[in-house]
Chain A
Amino acid sequence: MNLFALVFAFIYSPITRIKTWLIHLLLDILATGPMPKHVAFVMDGNRRYARSLGKQGKEGHSHGFKNLLRVLELCLRLRIDCVTVYAFAIENFNRPKEEVDTIMDLAEERLVEIAQRGELLDKHGVRLNVLGRRELLPQSVQAAVEKAEKMTRHNNAVILNICAPYASQDEITTAVESVIHEAIDAGDLDGSTITEDSIDSHLSTSLAGSPPLDIFVRTSGVRRLSGFLTWQCCEHTQIHMVNTYWPEFGLFDLVPILLEYQRKVWAEERSKSI
């Protein structure tokens, strides 16, 4: 090893440690204020990110997954109880077969990895739920989903919902169908038991034990909900449309979002006390 490399390593290592320490300090300071209980992410921009690096679009999904783990770690550190991510829309099956197959292979690999490294999720008490029409997934992915969910079912500190394949109108329709079934079974033939709350309780996020949604983040600058959690976010949820591509989304994108949440909570507390 030459002298230059030695000096670089000597300086770089403590700098990295100091940087990590400062980030943890920032997160701990933030977490002393009100924290959202449930944050949702539309992980958009993977393909555009890859193309910006001169790679094929489908390669961006791997970068996207790595960043998902980084963002999850931030959320865990911030003591956010529930994170929901939009991994795959039912409409995404319209994409080229090659890309869909790549995504399904990636999903299966990562789920198998999760199942094999269950102790990591156990350490943080993370329960993994895959929400949506899983019968549309390849059999091998369905098996990997069931195994990963089973591994973490006993955890209850943090919920991680992965929506794949999912669509809000499908979720709402399923919830309405369920409440109608229940009303029929209960002999309630005029529907007096069918209310907004009963429909809400039959949504897949509610069935997975998720609290109401506080923050919705979509990356890559697109200003649409694209059929993600429309029932859950249409009232008091703070909606953030961030220009950053998902693989680049990080702490410094998340901090202002959390500060806005804290500002809202404090403003509400002030108005109640007046």
Chain B
Amino acid sequence: MPAETEFLQCLQRVAAWCRLLGIQTLTVFDSRGVIYGCSDDVYRLVFPENETSEDGSEPEVECPLTPPPSDSSGSRTPSPEHATFPADLNALHLSGLRKRRNVGVRRQPSKGVSSASSKLTLYIASSASGKPAIASASRSLLQRCVGGASMLDGSMPSKFPYKLKISELGKVLESGLPPPDFIIIHDIHGMKMPYLHPPIEFHGFPPWQINIAEFHRTDPDDGHERDPTRSESPGTPQLISETAFRRALDEYSRAEFRLGR
């Protein structure tokens, strides 16, 4: 699919620039889930140096961890320390580090992988990582609450008032997809009438994570490139240029964060 190809090319470029600049976490928002199903291709593009690793271990693709059930003997309300992770946050987590067989344990990068290139962590999110993930998290919190209360003395959970803290819900949601500091919006298919500065739409970007992120849309005048293998026409996708990326970071460095003050 043409959209997938250009998306992957943009992703490869941005990942490389992030690693050069020491940016350690990159989230890619793929609203329609175009590349969600090809994580192997993404991994090969973003972490090509890991293809020839000596140990031959599989690339690390993590889904949110599910810790062992907590001890419910005396607990009526879920404690943040033992919150059950939701069944499906719908976000993929890719890292250049290899992992051991035990889930969640990391080891040192293998030989030949530079420390700079091993530090990038990539998240792939889609619109399913937003509102549907919050609904999924809510169901898990309910099951956690019900499981704790009903095992206490067999009485109905409704007798026990349920209180949810922002930090508790945040811990669940951000475990699978941390909130970005800065969002760069690039219109791969170009903007119609860019001189009118058309508005931005977020197309389902996770509402919890977008809370205080600064965002910037690339400018059509930033010399975006077209895939040289494709003929040039008004609808030809545009790959994000290094100029656009640097300009975005310059904008971010000038932003003033008052944090309510």
Q: A residues engaging B (CB < 8 A)?
A: 89-95, 168-170, 172-173, 176-177, 179-181, 183-185, 187, 189-191, 194-196, 198-200, 215, 222-227, 230-231, 233-241, 256-257, 260
Q: Say whether B143 contacts A230, CB under 8 Å.
A: no
16 residue pairs bridging A and B, Cβ less than 8 Å apart: A169-B211, A173-B169, A176-B138, A176-B164, A177-B163, A179-B138, A180-B138, A180-B141, A183-B142, A189-B143, A194-B139, A224-B255, A226-B211, A234-B204, A238-B201, A241-B200
Q: Considering the chains assembled together, what is the distance between the CA atoms of A260 and B191 in angstroms?
A: 13
Q: Considering the chains assembled together, what is the distance between the CA atoms of A256 and B193 in angstroms?
A: 13
Residue from B145, B198, B211, B251 within 8 A of A180 (CB atoms): B145
Q: Say whether B164 contacts A177, CB under 8 Å.
A: yes
Which residues of chain B are within 8 angstroms of A170 by Cβ–Cβ distance?
166
Residue from A225, A234, A241, A260 within 8 A of B206 (CB atoms): A234
Which residues of chain B are within 8 angstroms of A168 by Cβ–Cβ distance?
207, 211
Residue from A95, A176, A190, A236 within 8 A of B201 (CB atoms): A236
Q: Say whether A184 contacts B208, CB under 8 Å.
A: no
Q: For window 173-210 of chain B, which residues contact chain A by CB distance below 8 Å?
A: 196, 198-208, 210
Q: Say whether A194 contacts B138, CB under 8 Å.
A: yes
Residue from A95, A179, A183 within 8 A of B260 (CB atoms): A95
B65 to nearest A CB, angstroms?
21
Which residues of chain B are within 8 angstroms of A89 by Cβ–Cβ distance?
260
Q: Say whether A230 contacts B210, CB under 8 Å.
A: yes
Assuming the contacts A223-B216, A227-B211, A227-B212, asked whether A235 and B260 have C-beta atoms less than 8 A apart, the reply is no
Q: Say whether A234 contacts B205, CB under 8 Å.
A: yes
Which residues of chain B are within 8 angstroms of A199 by Cβ–Cβ distance?
131, 134-135, 138
Q: Considering the chains assembled together, what is the distance between the CA atoms of A231 and B204 in angstroms?
A: 9
Q: Considering the chains assembled together, what is the distance between the CA atoms of A232 and B150 in angstroms?
A: 35
Which residues of chain A are within 8 angstroms of B143 by Cβ–Cβ distance?
189-191
Q: Say whether A173 contacts B165, CB under 8 Å.
A: yes
Q: Considering the chains assembled together, what is the distance between the CA atoms of A121 and B254 in angstroms?
A: 42
Q: Considering the chains assembled together, what is the distance between the CA atoms of A94 and B215 in angstroms?
A: 24
Q: Say whether A93 contacts B260, CB under 8 Å.
A: yes
Question: Once A and B bind, how many residue pairs between them come within 8 Å at the CB atom?
Answer: 143
Which residues of chain A are within 8 angstroms of B142 by Cβ–Cβ distance?
180, 183-184, 189-191, 194
Chain A facing B: main interface SS: helix
Q: Say whether B158 contacts A184, CB under 8 Å.
A: yes
Which residues of chain B are within 8 angstroms of A91 by Cβ–Cβ distance?
259-261
Which residues of chain A are within 8 angstroms of B200 by Cβ–Cβ distance?
238-239, 241
Q: Say whether A94 contacts B261, CB under 8 Å.
A: yes
Residue from B132, B166, B251 within 8 A of A196 (CB atoms): B132
Q: Considering the chains assembled together, what is the distance between the CA atoms of A159 and B220 in angstroms?
A: 38
Which residues of chain B are within 8 angstroms of A94 by Cβ–Cβ distance?
259-261
Q: Say whether B207 contacts A231, CB under 8 Å.
A: yes
B162 at the interface (CB under 8 A from A): yes
Residue from B199, B202, B255 within 8 A of A234 (CB atoms): B202
Q: Considering the chains assembled together, what is the distance between the CA atoms of A195 and B196 in angstroms?
A: 38
Q: For window 99-149 of chain B, which residues contact chain A by CB distance below 8 Å?
A: 127, 130-132, 134-135, 137-143, 145-146
Q: Considering the chains assembled together, what is the distance between the CA atoms of A231 and B216 in angstroms?
A: 20
Q: Considering the chains assembled together, what is the distance between the CA atoms of A227 and B207 in angstroms?
A: 9
Given A93-B260, A180-B164, A222-B256; 6 other pairs, CB 8 A cutoff: A172-B169, A176-B134, A184-B146, A190-B142, A234-B131, A238-B200
Which residue of the partner chain B has the closest CB to A93? B260
Which residues of chain A are within 8 angstroms of B202 by Cβ–Cβ distance?
233-235, 237, 239
Q: Say whether A239 contacts B201, CB under 8 Å.
A: yes
Top 7 closest pairs, chain A to chain B, by CB: A91-B260, A191-B139, A238-B199, A230-B207, A177-B164, A234-B207, A196-B131
Q: Considering the chains assembled together, what is the distance between the CA atoms of A231 and B196 in angstroms?
A: 27
B3 at the interface (CB under 8 A from A): no
Which residue of the partner chain B has the closest CB to A181? B162
B33 at the interface (CB under 8 A from A): no
Q: Say whether B216 contacts A176, CB under 8 Å.
A: no
Which residues of chain A are within 8 angstroms of B207 by Cβ–Cβ distance?
168, 172, 230-231, 234
Which residues of chain A are within 8 angstroms of B261 by Cβ–Cβ distance?
91-92, 94-95
Q: Considering the chains assembled together, what is the distance between the CA atoms of A260 and B200 in angstroms?
A: 11
Q: Considering the chains assembled together, what is the distance between the CA atoms of A223 and B251 in angstroms?
A: 10
A24 to nearest B CB, angstroms?
25
Which residues of chain B are within 8 angstroms of A224 by Cβ–Cβ distance?
212-215, 255
Which residue of the partner chain B has the closest CB to A267? B192
Q: Considering the chains assembled together, what is the distance between the CA atoms of A20 and B213 in angstroms?
A: 40
Which residues of chain B are within 8 angstroms of A257 by Cβ–Cβ distance?
199
Q: Considering the chains assembled together, what is the distance between the CA atoms of A227 and B213 in angstroms?
A: 9
Q: Say whether A176 contacts B169, CB under 8 Å.
A: yes
A258 to nearest B CB, angstroms?
11
